[in-house]
Amino acid sequence: MPVQTLKWQDDALVLLDQTSLPEYVTYEACRDVESVAKAIEVLMVRGAPAIGLAAAYGVLIGARAAVNDSRDIFYTCVHRAIERLRQTRPTAVNLFWALDHMKNVLEGCADLEDNEFICDRLLEEANRLFAEDQEICRRMGTNGAALLPANGQIITHCNAGGLATADYGTALGVVYAAHEQGKKIAVFADETRPLLQGSRLTAWELQQSGVPVKVICDNMAATVLRKEAIACCIVGADRIAANGDVANKIGTYGLALMAEAHSVPFYVVAPVSTLDVSLDSGDEIPIEERSGDEIRNGMGKWTAPTDIDVYNPAFDVTPHHLVSAIISEQGIAHPPFESTLRTWALEASKT
């Protein structure tokens, strides 16, 4: 990746401010829990794995703020930080997965005397999750690249790249891995209304990395599928239910329907931490609704009457029957997905 999405530096969580891209490359240092929570809520840091990692460092920040307090106050403060971070965004399960990891470390330290030592353990855990995500991106990339032709075009939606992870991404990780292998892959990036993660982020990072990319408005995807030779559509995920239903950025479901209508494979790339096998189907996945102003006044201009009612779900659920394969660090799952997804989740829970 040409730039790093997040890093722990000088006792702060330093975030690349994704709300300013592609116009400005600026960084924001978060030094208290509220700044981390706000950064997640406003999408300064976004994308399922990156949200989880930011939250993990947010817990550490909460712990360090109370390091000189009594054990009771220290624990109360860390639990309060975890609860605040849990409230930020409901759909990406990686957030809750990462917070649970941090909470487990905290609980495991209950017998230790020194708060400083517990903070060290929390830092180690956040760094471990970060390093693990980097490695997982590489493994998903290699697994998925095998599905891409030596020469071809793909469509992606939203941003599932380096900006959404600790390394080079999930869906875009597959593209980067194929690119590194010498495959000639060109990308059509859906602009991804209303917050334009496709045109602002995906197009930007692919351009930085020298991967050919064309931005299309979301309503052009059907025409592209009809007129261009598209090898496959590749997207990331925020949460995948046990049956293979996939929650991802709003518009993913529409793209999957269009892909099916044109007999184009539809691939989902996500780490096992994005699986939520406690949910039987995607109907149970909580879908975040965001402010109507993102639609009425998204990029600083009124594009609808100021007081008009809007509906603004941030995610949708693509039913599993529209998904051709799910690629994780563990391999490739083909339909029917359930037994493979449950096996992957079980294996991961043992480590």
Q: Which residues bind ligand MRU (CB under 6 A)?
A: 43, 46-49, 92, 158, 160, 164-165, 169-170, 197, 236-238, 248-249, 314
E-strand stretches of 160-222 = 184-190, 213-216
Which residue is at the shortest CB distance from ligand MRU?
236
Q: Of the candidates 63, 20, 55, 56, which has an alpha carbon nearest to the alpha carbon of residue 38?
A: 55
> What is the CB neighbour count within 10 angstroms for residue 2?
11
Using the structure block, give the residue that is written with the tokens 């809520």.
41
In this structure, are residues 143 and 331 in contact, taking their beta carbons and an 8 Å threshold?
A: yes
Tokens found for residue 336: 């029917």
C-beta of residue 328 within 8 angstroms of C-beta of residue 271? yes
Whose Cβ is closer to ligand MRU: residue 148's or residue 163's?
Answer: 163
Structural contact between residues 15 and 6, judged by C-beta atoms closer than 8 angstroms: yes
Q: Is the dihedral of CA 96, 15, 294, 260 positive or negative?
A: negative
Cβ–Cβ < 8 Å for 163, 128: no
- Residue 62 Cβ vs ligand MRU, minimum distance, rounded to whole Å: 22
User: In whole angstroms, how close is the CB of 237 to ligand MRU at the nearest point?
Assistant: 6
What's the min distance (Å) between Cβ of 51 and ligand MRU? 6
What is the dihedral angle through the alpha carbons of 23, 55, 117, 101, rounded to the nearest 10 degrees?
-140
- Virtual torsion, Cα 169, 312, 223, 270, nearest 10 deg: 20
Toward ligand MRU, which CB reaches closer, 43 or 327?
Answer: 43
Decide whether 47 or 144 has the Cβ nearer to ligand MRU. 47
Comparing CB distances to ligand MRU, the nearer of 44 and 185 is 44
Q: What are phi and psi of 188, to 5 degrees?
A: -95, 120
Place of tokens 């730039």: 3
Q: Tell me the one-letter amino acid at 260.
A: E
Using N-to-C axis directions, what is the helix angle for 171-180 and 115-145, rounded to 10°? 60
In the bound state with ligand MRU, the residue whose beta carbon lies nearer, of 238 and 276, is 238
Enter the DSSP assignment of 190. Answer: E
Q: Give bridge partners of residue 327 from the DSSP assignment.
A: 269, 332
Closest by CA to 160, choosing from 70, 65, 245, 268, is 268
Tokens matching residue 294: 């993102």
Q: For residue 238, indicate whether it is catalytic.
A: yes
Q: How far apart are CA 134 and CA 109, in angstroms?
A: 26
Shortest distance, position 194 Cβ to ligand MRU, whole Å: 10
| Residue 347 CB, nearest approach to ligand MRU (Å) | 21
Least distance (Å) between residue 163 CB and ligand MRU: 9
Our CB check for ligand MRU shows the closer of 119 and 327 to be 327
> Residue 64 or 249: which CB sits closer to ligand MRU?
249
Residues 6+ apart with CB under 8 A from 38: 44
**Minimum CB–partner distance for residue 69 and ligand MRU (Å):** 34
**Given 238, 245, 276, 316, the catalytic residue:** 238
- What positions carry a catalytic annotation? 238
